[in-house]
């Protein structure tokens, strides 16, 4: 029981202190997380194809780190990202 509690607490601390990375502005390979659940909140993500933050309807399940509550949050994290080609997106997603 003590080991389980230690692991749970360690994971919670690691998650809360996770530093932002440029990967937060990239989609994962499996990005079809819309419409899985019924929350349907208006959220924002960085689209590396257009180089812009875009609004989308998020169901609340699945997803990745490229989900922001506001356009300002998205732009703050991703404003310096460049527009990328499909091959660049795939390469960075796997690296």
Please write the tens of the pLDDT for every residue from 28-87: 544 454 445 777 889 999 988 888 999 999 888 888 899 999 999 999 998 887 766 666
Residues 10, 6: Cα–Cα separation, whole Å = 6
22-94: CATH homologous superfamily? Pancreatic trypsin inhibitor Kunitz domain (4.10.410.10)
Within a 10 A sphere around the Cβ of 89, how many other Cβ atoms? 16
pLDDT digits (tens, 9 = 90+) for 2-32: 664 555 555 555 444 445 556 677 765 444 5
Domain residue ranges of the chain, discontinuous segments joined by +: 22-94
Residues 59, 36: Cα–Cα separation, whole Å = 6
Instruction: Please give the radius of gyration of the chain, using alpha carbons only, rounded to the nearest integer.
Output: 15
C-alpha distances in Å from residue 19, one per residue of 13, 15, 47, 55: 12, 9, 21, 24
Instruction: State the pTM of this model.
Output: 0.55
């Amino acid at each position: 029981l003590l080991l389980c509690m230690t692991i749970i607490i360690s994971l919670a601390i690691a998650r809360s202190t996770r530093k932002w990375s440029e990967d937060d502005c990239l989609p994962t390979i499996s990005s079809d997380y819309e419409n899985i659940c019924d929350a349907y909140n208006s959220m924002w993500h960085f689209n590396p194809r257009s180089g812009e933050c875009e609004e989308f309807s998020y169901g609340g399940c699945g997803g990745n780190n490229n989900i922001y509550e506001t356009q300002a949050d998205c732009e703050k994290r991703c404003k310096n990202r460049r527009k990328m080609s499909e091959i660049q997106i795939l390469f960075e997603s796997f690296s």
